[in-house]
Each structure stands twice: as C-alpha cells, then as structure tokens.
C-alpha cells in the first residue's frame, strides 16, 4: 500500500516542481485524483519524511564551491563543468543546472514533502495514545521545512541585517502543498521569522532522543535555532539555544581513537558518530577534488593538532576531504556538538564573557590534541581577542561543512572586510565584502517560468 502511495506522491512532487513556480498560468488542465495519495495514518506520514535519499542526502553544496578555504589551478578549473566554474568565479548567471536536479528544486521538493505531512496532520486517523507520535511527526516536518529555508537563505539571499532585511529579497514561502498559488518572494526578514517560528514549534514537539539521528530531535531543533540566530547576528538568542542543545547532548569525540574515531581509516570519522545530532550530507563537488587547500588555513593547525592530518591529506591537494562526519567523502553538513560549542563560545565572546568563551574553545581543542603531548590552553587578554580565536577555530573545525559562505556574509556585514580572490589564467577575480553576488543567482529556468524577481546584480 505504502509503495503505491509513495510512487504517486513522487509523481506529484515532479508535477509540483513545474507548477509551483507558475501558479495558475501553466497548471495542468487535468489534475490527479489526490484522494489516491492522501495518507491515512501517522505511520504513513512518518514514512513520507523518512525519505533519507531526498531529505538527508541531497543537501546543496553551492556554499562550499563559492567559499574560500581552497583554490583551483587553471588546468584543473577547465576540467570541471561550466556551472561549477561559474560558481567558483561568482559569475552573475548560469551557476545552477536547469530542470529537476538543481539545488533550488531539491530544496523545494523537500519543502513540498514537509507541507504534505503538515497539511494532512489533522486528517489522519489517530487514537488518544498516538499524541506523542503525532507531535513527533509534526515536529520533524516543521524542522525539515525550516532547515530547507535556512539553507536557501544562505545561498540565495543577502546576509540578515536588521536595518535592511525588511526590503531585501528572501525566498518564496511555500507553506502548503497547493500548487495553484503563484510563488512570490518574501523579504529576508519574513523568511527568517518563518524559519524561527517553525523551529520553535518543532522544539516543543520533538523528542529529546530520536529513533535515529537521520530524524530531527529536540537538540537538533535547538542547534538549528542557534545557527539561525548566529546568522542573524543575535548572540543572546544564539547562546540561549546553544545552551539548551548542549544540556541535552554535549559529547565530543577524542580524536586519538575514542568512540566514533578510527585513526588508521581512510575516512577516520564514523557516520552517526557520538557528536552527530542530526545527520545530513552534500554530494562532493568535483572542483573541490581538484582544488588545493588554502595554505594559511593548513598552516594554522599546530603540529600536535590531530585535525591537520585527519582532515587534510596533504598541504596541497584537497583530493577527497578526509574530515567529513559522513564516514565517506560526502560532505557532512548536519548538526553536531562541535559546532554547538563553537557557536556558544562565539556568543560568550560577543557578550564580553571572555572566560566562558575560552573554556568552550579549550574543551573542544583538547579533544583534538595528540595524546602524550602537552596542550597549553588558549588565552586572551580581552573578549575581542577571544572572539578572534573562536572565529579562527571555527574555520579550522568546520571546514567544508557548508557554513563558511554564511560566515563570510555575516562577518562582512559586521565589518570583517573579508575579500575573496581567485586567479585563473593570469586573470584576477575578486568578491569584495557585501557584494550583491553573495546572494547567488536563482536558476534561470525558475525565474523564466515563475516571473519572480531575480537577485539584483
């Protein structure tokens, strides 16, 4: 029964991908009989969002390709497809494929599945004993929708700014599965407020311990709330939710060979290791395989810092990055405790609590330090110095997790003055702070079909 339902739902998703951006103009004259695909039980709804291949394994990797931490020589640059070449050089157009495989369509197909679940929550048959399961499924759907909108905002919207976010272009907020409604872009402020609303609801509904970390949980919702508030430049709220997350899950792996770590393996970190709060990953970008690790980043790891060899194959070629928590070359971009410690440390530093920031930082780093070698705790004379240390460690710890692009945008908004540079065939390309190109171009076919406003250039 479920296989039939699932196949028909996937067909509806394909239809939705074409029609949700067009509204009534191009809606199919003959609509499918939706009674055939309406779930009837909570378990049916759970099955829809247990689609691991779509929900957990197709995360967009644009934020890795466009960011720094690596560079590509001209000969290798020509070896990759045009879209990745354009994204690497921050071209004003043609960065995403057309059709069903681009990141926009994938994210909105995930959103559509979440909306199908939310739309049917009140319609399914349930007994009094189903309330906990009902809450869990609804919380998962809200989490997934919020996760997708946050990733989309990182890619296709400018950095959140209290002064301009009400006027800056955000994302189309599809809040139900009705594909008759034309897509119109909300503001950045509306987009982020809706992300927060979904996550706050989810945090009240989800269990503390999920059946498996491929499913959202209460600490995952707290972690994503902390990430959202970090992107918004709101350290008080980021600190609140980082604390709530770490109260529920705070384990850090010992990189010397503790649980979840196999030092001698080609990929040292097990998938679903003890730090993982929510598991998801991105496909590996070809251009990263051909890239070289940034020399300053590589040199910033001390010789006794195990991340130097457990993340990076050499001081040169990236090849397949070793440090992913996916257990393979696929790039982990889920939620893990190391990120939560770093977000809390940054929030402490921004709130002028130097000692708490350093305590979190040293708690993390000592777990990455070579056994038998003395670790001298990091110190700082003031909160600003502590913040600098935190941001440096954040870049080292979370390399190629898809967070650096967001970090550059938010830090430049605060005056960090980070300029990205590329050099190809003797020609220099730069992306100055707060450039319009930090909001990537929405796929051209989506703009053409929908009539939505493109990102300004």
Average pLDDT over residues 292-301: 98
**Contact between 412 and 431 (Cβ < 8 Å):** no
Lowest-confidence region among 121-130, 256-265, 414-423:
121-130
CATH class of domain segment(s) 2-450:
mainly alpha
From the list 420, 455, 407, 392, the residue with the least C-alpha distance to 160 is 407
Q: CA quadruple 269, 270, 271, 274: dihedral positive or negative?
A: negative
Crossing angle between the packed helical segments 103-120 and 131-156, to the nearest 10 degrees:
150
pLDDT of residue 37: 57
pLDDT of residue 128: 60
Question: Is the predicted pLDDT of residue 123 greater than 70, yes or no?
Answer: yes
pLDDT of residue 9: 45
Question: Is the predicted pLDDT of residue 16 greater than 70, yes or no?
Answer: no
pTM greater than 0.85: yes
Query: In 322-403, at which residue ranges do the beta strands (DSSP E only) sit?
Result: 331-332, 335-336
Question: Is the predicted pLDDT of residue 5 greater than 70, yes or no?
Answer: no
The tokens for 1 are: 């029964």
pLDDT of residue 99: 86
pLDDT over 70 percentage in the chain:
91
**140/146 Cα distance (integer angstroms):** 10
Average pLDDT over residues 10-26: 40
CA separation (Å) from 246 to 114, 242, 252, 343? 27, 6, 11, 11
**143/183 Cα distance (integer angstroms):** 21
Cβ neighbors of 93 (< 8 A, separation 6 or more) are 86, 441, 444
From the list 431, 50, 341, 38, the residue with the least C-alpha distance to 215 is 50
CA separation (Å) from 272 to 222, 280, 341, 365? 19, 10, 18, 21
pLDDT of residue 183: 84
Average pLDDT over residues 229-247: 98
Question: Is the predicted pLDDT of residue 385 greater than 60, yes or no?
Answer: yes
Question: Is the predicted pLDDT of residue 403 greater than 80, yes or no?
Answer: yes
Question: Is the predicted pLDDT of residue 304 greater than 90, yes or no?
Answer: yes
Band the pLDDT of 124: cuts 50, 70, 90.
confident
Average pLDDT over residues 82-86: 97
Q: Would you call 456 helix, strand, or coil by DSSP? A: coil
Question: Is the predicted pLDDT of residue 335 greater than 60, yes or no?
Answer: yes
Question: Is the predicted pLDDT of residue 236 greater than 90, yes or no?
Answer: yes
pLDDT tens per residue across span 200-226: 999 999 999 999 999 999 999 999 999
pLDDT of residue 108: 96
pLDDT of residue 399: 98
Report the chain's mean pLDDT, rounded to a whole number. 91
Question: Is the predicted pLDDT of residue 15 greater than 60, yes or no?
Answer: no
Q: CA quadruple 124, 128, 132, 133: dihedral positive or negative?
A: negative
Choice between 39 and 290, residue whose per-residue pLDDT is larger: 290
pLDDT tens per residue across span 137-168: 999 999 999 999 999 999 999 999 999 999 99
Question: Is the predicted pLDDT of residue 420 greater than 70, yes or no?
Answer: yes
Question: Is the predicted pLDDT of residue 321 greater than 70, yes or no?
Answer: yes
**285/38 Cα distance (integer angstroms):** 37
Band the pLDDT of 187: cuts 50, 70, 90.
very high
Choice between 12 and 243, residue whose per-residue pLDDT is larger: 243
Question: Is the predicted pLDDT of residue 6 greater than 70, yes or no?
Answer: no
pLDDT of residue 22: 37
Q: Give the residue extent of every domain in the chain.
A: 2-450
């Amino acid at each position: 029964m479920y296989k039939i339902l699932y196949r028909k739902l996937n067909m509806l998703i394909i239809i939705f991908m074409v029609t949700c951006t067009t509204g009534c103009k191009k809606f199919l004259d003959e609509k499918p009989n939706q009674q055939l695909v309406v779930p009837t039980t909570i378990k049916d709804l759970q099955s829809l969002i247990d689609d691991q291949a779509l929900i957990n394994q197709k995360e967009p990797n644009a934020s890795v390709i466009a960011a720094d931490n690596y560079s590509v020589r001209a000969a290798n640059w020509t070896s990759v497809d045009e879209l990745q070449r354009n994204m690497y050089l921050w071209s004003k157009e043609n960065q995403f494929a057309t059709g069903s495989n681009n990141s926009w369509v994938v994210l909105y197909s995930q959103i559509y599945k979440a909306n199908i679940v939310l739309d049917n929550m009140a319609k399914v048959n349930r007994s009094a004993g189903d309330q906990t399961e009902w809450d869990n499924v609804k919380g998962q759907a809200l989490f997934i929708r919020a996760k997708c909108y946050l990733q989309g905002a990182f890619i296709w919207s400018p950095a959140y700014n209290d002064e301009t976010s009400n006027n800056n272009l955000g994302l189309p907020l599809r809040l139900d599965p009705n594909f008759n409604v034309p897509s119109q872009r909300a503001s950045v402020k509306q987009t982020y407020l809706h992300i927060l609303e979904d996550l706050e609801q989810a945090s009240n509904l989800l269990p503390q311990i999920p059946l498996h970390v491929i499913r959202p949980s209460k600490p995952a919702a707290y972690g994503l709330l902390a990430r959202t508030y970090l992107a918004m430049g709101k350290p008080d709220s980021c600190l609140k939710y980082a604390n709530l997350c770490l109260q529920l899950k705070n384990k850090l792996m010992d990189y010397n060979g503790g649980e979840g770590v196999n030092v001698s393996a080609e990929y040292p970190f097990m998938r679903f290791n003890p730090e993982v709060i929510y598991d998801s990953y991105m496909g590996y970008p070809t251009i990263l395989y051909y890239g070289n690790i940034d020399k300053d980043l590589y040199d910033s790891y001390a010789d006794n810092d195990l991340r130097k060899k457990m993340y990076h194959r050499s001081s040169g070629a990236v090849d397949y990055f070793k440090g992913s928590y996916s257990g393979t070359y696929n790039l982990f971009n889920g939620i893990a405790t190391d990120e939560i410690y770093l977000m809390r440390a940054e929030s402490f530093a921004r709130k002028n609590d130097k000692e708490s920031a350093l305590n979190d930082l040293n708690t993390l780093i000592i777990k990455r330090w070579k056994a038998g070698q003395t670790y001298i705790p990091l110190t700082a004379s003031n909160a600003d110095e502590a913040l600098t240390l935190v941001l440096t460690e954040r870049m080292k710890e979370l390399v190629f997790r898809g967070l650096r692009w967001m970090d550059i945008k938010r830090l430049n908004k605060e005056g960090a003055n980070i300029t990205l540079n590329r050099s190809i065939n003797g020609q220099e390309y730069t992306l100055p702070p707060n450039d319009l190109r930090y909001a990537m171009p929405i796929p051209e076919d989506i703009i053409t079909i929908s009539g939505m406003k493109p990102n300004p250039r």
